[in-house]
Structure 1
């Protein structure tokens, strides 16, 4: 069993889309199903820079730092104590060769290697990456704002924050394709702030074979910064096959 991992979330940018539920469902392996808010499923891109990553109990000074990305779909499934919530992650990318080597082996989540380009100030953020094979490209430009607005998924920042706080377990396919491995984010200091997205480009969401025209629409953007976090491996979900 992998030890719990300590880290600091230096920046976690959540670019969120509202998606037609039947389209989201077509991308999920059983036993997962889309978590629906109103008439929509929820999907997005998580662009996260982690610092001081090390096993719990070791000093932060020895930890490592990396830029990472995950394409996500909010999901639910039937657990032993009722309906559980989290996210399904069909694709993870990292600028760290160490994450690529250890992902899906020492800790859950197979990662592809990517090249990241980041420019960041207190108000403005540009985060972009291209996968090593060139198949996946993402570029976003956002600015922090004082007021949350314009979302058709959530009436206010509190509702949006609570939705994503509850989805703190991320599942992704194991290397052998026989199960979904889970990793839970635990933090005592959960806090998000709103941001406005000036531009967003994602080959994942712009792929019309995956998301037909009009089936996925940018909804809202949230930002976390400088948040201590622990990562815990959860019980895997067994699968007959990964769709």
Structure 2
């Protein structure tokens, strides 16, 4: 299916990142993908995303939609025709928008569940909490803006973290059929991130001992993007297994 190219403004994108045992991360992935390792760790996390002006690129911006969204992600790599390629695998997407929930997997790749969000923001502090309507997932994260990235065991500094996530611009998520992965690629000429300091974080996904045994997922760092114009283009579907 040919999907329209989308445009939007990332009003806020909070990336809450965990360093994860590679074997635990591998168990979350379809056979076509493997964890991308940084200093011996897999990298996973939650993307808490508020979008504005979401629309097909041919539509005027005032017609665009605004929504709160969340994606659970694992940094991955795979063998492409020209060598190793990198991106993210997204086992779960959720949204506060009924339009997004209906359109995901139909108008654009990536199926979405419904969730209720609670958000409080100032220029220096962001709190995002969500509970999915199916009762499966809860998140509550508070991050303060910092002048530099501190305490991360994944990344030496903000520049290294920024490059890692910019290079992972292709995201794949499972199709309801279970036999293929649908993909989208994020594009922007205005990439910019700020460092964050996590003051509180709870995630039923990463705190689940059945998914991550004790010590297998450790909070590492947070990054913040604000007011960044972006586009998305769909990618050819790929087989879920090799």
Q: Please, what TM-score do these two structures have when normalized by structure 1?
A: 0.97
- Aligned residue number for residue 109 of structure 2: 108
Summarize the alignment of residues 88-127 of structure 1 with structure 2, pairs less than 5 Å apart.
88-127=89-128
- Aligned residue number for residue 4 of structure 1: 5
Cα drift, residue 178 of structure 1 = 1.4
Offset from partner CA, 1:112-134 (integer Å, 9 cap, x none):
10000001110011101100122
- Aligned residue number for residue 208 of structure 2: 207
Tell me the distance in 2 between the aligned counterparts of 1:56 and 1:79.
29
**Structure 1: stretches of 5+ with no match in the other structure:** none
Distance 1:55 1:220, change over 3 A: same
Tell me the distance in 2 between the aligned counterparts of 1:200 and 1:78.
34
Give the number of aligned pairs. Answer: 241
Aligned residues of 2:11 and 2:52 also touching (Cα < 8 A): yes
Q: What is the root-mean-square deviation in Å for CA atoms of aligned residues?
A: 1.0
Q: Give the 3-state SS of the residue equivalent to 1:229 in structure 2.
A: strand
Offset from partner CA, 1:160-182 (integer Å, 9 cap, x none):
00000000011000121110000
- Which segment is superposed worse, 145-154 or 40-49? 145-154
Tell me the distance in 2 between the aligned counterparts of 1:116 and 1:47.
10
Tell me the distance in 1 between the aligned counterparts of 2:132 and 2:80.
35
Cα drift, residue 240 of structure 1 = 4.8
Is it true that 1:165 corresponds to 2:163 in the alignment?
no
Tell me the distance in 1 between the aligned counterparts of 2:27 and 2:135.
25
Summarize the alignment of residues 60-71 of structure 1 with structure 2, pairs less than 5 Å apart.
60-71=61-72
Please list every run of at least 4 consecutive aligned residues from structure 1 whose deviation after the TM superposition is greater than 2 angstroms: none
Tell me the distance in 1 between the aligned counterparts of 2:59 and 2:92.
30
- Aligned residue number for residue 218 of structure 2: 217
**Structure 2: stretches of 5+ with no match in the other structure:** none
- Aligned residue number for residue 82 of structure 1: 83
